[in-house]
Amino acid sequence: MFSFLPRWLPGVLAAVVTASGQAPPAAAPQKASVSGTAPALGRPVLIGHAGSGFFTLLRPFNPLPPSSLRSLTRALDRGAEGVEVDLRLSQDSVVVLYHNETLESMSTGTGYVSQTPAAVLQQLRYRGGWPYDWFQHEHLITFETLLAVLAKRGEMPYLHLDLHEDDAAATNNVVRSHALIRGLVQVLERYQVPAARVLVITNRAATLRYVQALRPALPRGLELTGGFDAEYPQARLAPVQAVVLRKSDVSPARVAEVHANGQQVVVFGGRSARAVARVVACRPDAYEVDNVRQLRATLRRQQSAN
C-alpha cells in the first residue's frame, strides 16, 4: 500500500478560504509546496487513465470500456493509487460515466448523453465489437454508483474527474456545466470523499473558476488541449493547482517551468514500455497511464537503478 499524498495537496490546503466564502483572486496562481514522502520516492502518483485505458488488442490486450466499472476496479486491483474518470451530465442532470461524444460509438444506445435520461443510460451496454465484447458485459453507470462501490473498498482512491462538458447537442452551455459541477460535488459530499483525494479537470478555465467559488478546497487541473506553448502562458495565471498534459506534450523543461510557477503536472496517455519510460523520466507529479502494470514495472526498475 502506498502512503504518500499528491504533491498539489499542501498548496490546496493552504489556499482554503475562511468562513467568509470568498475565493482567492483568479489572477493569483495557487502555490503548491512540496512536502511529505513523495519527493523522497521521486515518482508520480499512479492513476489509471479511464481505469484500464481503452480498447486495445496488444500491449496489453484490454477488452474493457474506458470509465466502465470493471475497468476502474481492475486498475485499482493492479496497483493504481487512483483512477481518472470521464464524467458527463444526463438529460435529467445526473452525473454519469462515459467517454465518447456519441452513444452509438461505444454503446447500444444512440444520440448523446445530454439528451438521454439517466435511467435509460444505465440500461445501455457498452459495445466494443469483436473480440472485446466476448470478454466484457459492462453497462453505463452513474458517478454515485461508482462511489458506492469504491466506498466499500476502504480508503477512497484518488479521483481525477475529467469533465466532458460538450457534445453536438449541448455546446458551450454554461448552465449545464455548472449543473455538472454541482452534481459531482453533491455526490462527493454524500460519500464524504476528502477534497485531498480529488482533482477536477477540464479544459475550461471558466468552469474551474466556478469550482473554486463553489468549493475552494477542491483541487483543480486545467487540461491544455491546444498545446503547451500556445496555452500555458494563460494557464500559468489560472486559479489551478495542476496543469494536465498529453504524453506527447510533456518534457523535463516544461515540467520544470510549471513547477517554478508553483503548479503541478499531470500527464495522460501511454501504454508501451518506451512511452511510459519517457513520461516517467520527465518527472511529472501524477501519471494517468493506460497500462498500470507497465508503469509499475518501470517504477520498479527505476527504483532498483537508484
Q: Give backbone dihedrals phi and psi of 177, rounded to 5 degrees, phi first.
A: -60, -45
Contact, 63 vs 29, CB < 8 A?
Answer: no
pLDDT value at residue 289 = 98
pLDDT tens, position by position, 233-270: 999 999 999 999 999 999 999 999 999 999 999 999 99
pLDDT tens, position by position, 64-84: 999 999 999 999 999 999 999
CA distance 171 to 306: 49
Calculate Rg over the CA atoms of the chain.
Answer: 18
Q: Give backbone dihedrals phi and psi of 102, rounded to 5 degrees, phi first.
A: -100, 150
What pTM did the predictor assign?
Answer: 0.88
pLDDT tier at 134, thresholds 50, 70, 90: very high
pLDDT tens, position by position, 92-105: 999 999 999 999 99
Pick the CATH number of 47-305 from 3.20.20.190, 3.40.50.1110, 1.10.8.60, 3.40.309.10: 3.20.20.190
pLDDT tier at 305, thresholds 50, 70, 90: confident
Region 12-36 average pLDDT? 37
- Average per-residue pLDDT for the chain: 89
